[in-house]
Amino acid sequence: MRNAPTILHLDMDAFYASVEQASKPSLRGKAVVVGGLGPRGVVATASYEARVFGVHSAMPMAQARRLAPNAAYLVPRFGLYRSISEQVMALLHELSPLVEPLSLDEAFVDLEAGEVAWDAGSARLVGEKLRADIRAATGLAGSVGLAASKMLAKIASEQAKPDGLVLIEPGTERAMLGPMTVRTLPGVGPATGDHLRRAGITTVDEIAEAGEDELVRLLGKAHGHALYAMALAHDERPVVAEREAKSVSVEDTYDVDIHDRMRVGMEVQRLADRCVRRLRGAGLSGRTIVLKVRRYDFSTLTRSETLRGPTDDPAVVREAAARLLDSVDTTGGVRLLGVGVSGLADYTQEDLFAQAAGEAAEILAEEEAAEPVAVQEAVVERRWPAGHDVRHAEYGHGWVQGSGLGRVTVRFETPWAVEPGRVRTFRVDDPELEPVEPLPLVPTIPVDGVGA
């Protein structure tokens, strides 16, 4: 382990919820919960105001609504979250070539490799500047931990939350860790924590006192050795530079199990198209098509098919996914479906037959689109997810507060507004209302009088 606190851990504070608060003036300082809003939805992120009521990530959404009935409940806007994450990661890459992202809002950085820090003083300056740069670029807060190892840097960033910086001086690690709960250490979840508690071990100091042999007896060789080393503040893991994606996939969980085989097939086709859009957006293609099916009894099946060469052709992916579905028994119902592509490459080996099939499919789609409008209106329903962006021809940019009973309620405001915007309600089929892309949290040019 190094002798200077030059490993940095950044964790953006309540990231998804903070993005929503920053983009919606009326929600600033209010309880905000982001996640799936259906009966089986779970909380992705809760703002600090919502956490006061006991709401936390991975909690069933129905339970969150009982705890915080007056919170704002919003559907995630992953495209916006990714774009902001890219801005943050770009700032980290300016500090060092060794950046290890853990998620959209969390990463390790080796400051020593970037030659920007060599002791506690220089590391602290880098951390404070990073926090200021992130706020200037995105308007959001991030917490920073600095230490001589990855484990300690992550623990430090947890202590720094929200919107702070904690630096652990080398030599003080054991004294700092000792009184902390065993759950502080990586890899100690509820089950391991309960197992240790039954053995009379509740703090990190007590793990160290128990000794390596006792931990191996309680937890097994690998886990026991690793836990004893962590209790002594030993962590030699290096910061590993960002790895290339191994696969691209999409999946949906359904509020009600799907029993109709034709509907299942249509969902798989839709997921295949979404997967290809994501694949093309990343400039990639892939050889192996993967289908994931979770059935009514929670059993999960995966099927895969490897093509002769990489493809990003939607017709090829749809056909392969359909063939894989043919081998799966969906009797009893389906609660989750997913389509993925692996074996990625940054080029495409065209298949002329697949290309011809794709052109035929496009012609068929055009013919179906040419059917009378009345027929299409009978099967196409406009959806207005809560929290998503819209624009009205008269009132401008806003976001969906909610919809139902043929109505949609919109609050008209932009991220740069000083005061909350006005609320209006429309028919769900109002021709002057349309979905749009989110606005940036920080304006790229000076904005005068916006949001009045």
Positions annotated as catalytic residues are 106
Phi, psi values for residue 368, rounded to 5°: -65, -35
Count CB neighbours of 225 within 10 A: 14
Q: What whole-number distance in Å separates Cα of residue 385 and Cα of residue 299? A: 29
- Identify the DSSP state of 26: G
CA 447 to chain centre: 30
Q: Which residues pair with 105 in a beta bridge?
A: none
Residue 179 φ/ψ, nearest 5 degrees: -80, -5
Name which of 353, 188, 324, 346 is nearest 265 in CA terms.
324
* Helix/strand/coil for 341: strand
Helix or strand or coil: residue 422?
A: strand
Q: Is the CB of residue 201 less than 8 Å from the CB of residue 35?
A: no
CA distance 294 to 277: 23
Distance CA(145)–CA(155), nearest Å, equals 7
| 3-class state of residue 146 by DSSP | strand
Q: Tell me which residue of 380, 416, 405, 409 sits closest to 392, measured CA to CA.
A: 409
C-alpha distance across the termini of the chain, in Å:
55
Q: How far apart are CA 396 and CA 392, in angstroms?
A: 5
CB atoms within 10 A of CB 115: 9
Backbone angles phi, psi at 341, to 5 degrees: -130, 130
Please say whether the beta carbons of 447 and 407 come within 8 A: no
